Structure 1
């Protein structure tokens, strides 16, 4: 990472994302690690946009406009390109994480994105397929048994 471009916070955030991603791969029973990884991914996208917006002009002024060695200039250009590629890949990663989270635990099936309710992977109508592991749909009608009353019992004569 170029010392002229991004602060150490960028490295720490991506390190934490790597740790949560590893935790999500190892712990396959629960969807909570994937959910935490997804939340951290959203925060890292916001942080990357802020860092690129703030630190790219500073790095450009330091490296491109002043006479510096070609290796430093190339390092700045490479780190800028890789951070932009990393930022462009994160939405695809978020979509795949959402799919993994939904496949591990069906509780997130009602999570809808406004305006995108026709795609089966985002809630909405998934068709007539009914998973064999899920219970039958609840119709809302509950049958109640009538209670047993002692007065209904015939009296025994000795």
Structure 2
């Protein structure tokens, strides 16, 4: 009986009321995995709410695991982005804990777009996933496998925290 009560208390803590995006002044920190062709790595970022439905932020990705045959220079592995999101959680109104956000970014490698989703289990902790792609690459020539890192379809998944 004590174990059942403990499980019920823990579940209620994870299912407590939370809000995925609260508008102006909202701050999010996220960290997770970046997955793309020929590389996988770490994704870290910060978003700041400027209005009811939009935020700006910064995002950095570093490719840790690069496949054989791909050059391993730091400049090819690292990317830094400034981003803009349209937070549509209150528009689609699925749940107060859920947010969906399309956005655009300008990075060291390209001009890109992304579609992200996040779900908060508590007021401070949730999970996120983002799908991104390059819309305009700065280098329009044929890209080597090393130059394709961060210039292709990417998936980011991880944890997100309210600050």
Bigger proportion of residues as helix: 1
| Higher-RCO chain (CA-CA 8 Å, sequence separation at least 6) | 2
TM-score when scaled to structure 2?
A: 0.21
TM-score when scaled to structure 1?
A: 0.21
Bigger proportion of residues as strand: 2
